Amino acid sequence: YHNDLFYLTGTRLAPKEKLDIPVFFLPDTMKICEAVVVIHVMRENGENWPYEDSAGLNKDLKSVTLGENGGLQEILWIYPVHGIPEAVQQKLVPAVICCQARQRVERRVEVPLTGVVPGATFTPARRNSAKVNASSPANIQDKIKDTNGLSTTLEFMYKLQYPSNEIKSQLESLVDMHLIEREHDTESGIVTLIFKTEFAPSKPMRNEATLIVQCTTGGVWKFPMLFIAMDPEVDDVINIEAVGLNKESLVDFKLTSQTG
């Protein structure tokens, strides 16, 4: 959609009847888009809905219009809609972070973001009524406040998403990612984010995760990651010397619990 308001008029609804309102989003840039879905209801015969306490309603209430003779003349439902574009990624090779169990590894992970314009600013989409149906009541336009947001510098937010809560509980405390640098190729327009990733597994495992990056302009990029913990090194070798046939031989050794 193009950040404008459109009105569908002349739709009749019977009592308790349902109305489906499809909303389509076809982004051509990596910027968030905003729209407003407005449902405006009036009685077909033009009469007001009776409402006992209509005089006590807040005069600033934008969702209803009071009739001159009391009651409700019209009702509005206003639903803001945010369209967030997501980059179409081909099948990507996961970034593999591999480490022995009970060890710690630190890796540099680079992720390219296509479609970003570095140095650009983000202004939330302006709501206007340039394409309002001529038969729509004019006061509806006044009830959708025309706002302009303040521009902000281009920033990025990121998080690791896990396939399940079980994998999240295993990895969340073992993985740490920090954005340490970002680079911009002026010719291609690609922004590359560089993360410092630490992985400190306590036991062998092989788990997947997805790095999700979102820009203040609304664009979203997703990158697969794979965390592999191999078998740990052998702590020690225990030798038991035989003292004779059919005789037991014993050796003592201590076990230390890492969890206390």
For residues 63 and 75, the answer to whether their CB atoms sit within 8 Å is yes
Highest mean pLDDT among 43-47, 161-165, 236-240: 161-165
pLDDT in tens, 30-41: 888 888 888 878
Give residue-wise pLDDT tens across range 55-76. 556 555 666 676 666 677 787 8
Write out the two tokens for 141: 């336009």
Instruction: Record the pTM.
Output: 0.63
Direct distance between the N- and C-terminal alpha carbons of the chain, in angstroms, rounded to an integer: 58
Q: CB under 8 Å to 136, separation ≥6 — which residues?
A: 7, 9, 40
As beta bridge partners, residue 34 has 82
pLDDT of residue 142 exceeding 50? no
Of 98 and 259, which is predicted with more confidence?
98
Using the predicted structure, report yes or no on whether residue 132 has a pLDDT greater than 60. Answer: no
User: What number of residues does the chain have?
Assistant: 260
Q: Say yes or no to pLDDT of 147 above 90.
A: no
* Nearest Cα residue to 206 out of 255, 259, 163: 163
- Decide which of 133 and 43 is more confident: 43
Q: What is the DSSP string of 77-94?
A: EEEEEEE--B-----PPP
pLDDT of residue 42: 80
- Give the residue range(s) of CATH 2.60.40.2310 domains in the chain: 87-117+154-232
- Our measurement of the distance from residue 83's CA atom to the centroid of its chain's CA atoms, rounded to an integer in Å, reads 11
The lowest-confidence range among 157-166, 170-179, 198-207, 250-259 is 250-259
Three-state secondary structure readout of 141-158: HHHCCCCCCCCECCCEEE
- CATH class, domain 87-117+154-232, is mainly beta
